[in-house]
Structure 1
């Protein structure tokens, strides 16, 4: 992130994804208010923002691994 200004993006086969639903708001006015300070807080070293982003990255990696290994909620309990 510091070196190139953005995160790590990994191309994945979309056939691995389950059916998804996209939800959006026609007027997401609150989103900008909520997220506009996140980058600044990150750059300022805000521990909550940094730890939250690390947790999100961990969840994304776990999700990617589950998709690649075809692990589903039902197969976890089998």
Structure 2
């Protein structure tokens, strides 16, 4: 997982190091409120623009990580 995603997940979840990348967001405890928080934190902390709607369509942590990686590439270096 990207460092940026790990940092944001640590604000929302415990035991981030033990997460299964193929687990659904719901299975790891990410509900709709946490999806909003993830969107806000990714933008505020890392300059990664990911909408609630995009995050709501994500099925697994692996998909979320891939999305964050794409957005980091699009954003370029800070």
Q: TM-score, with normalisation over the residues of structure 2?
A: 0.27
Which protein is richer in helix relative to its size? 2
Structure with higher Rg: it is 1
- Greater relative CO, 1 or 2 (CA 8 Å, sep 6+): 2
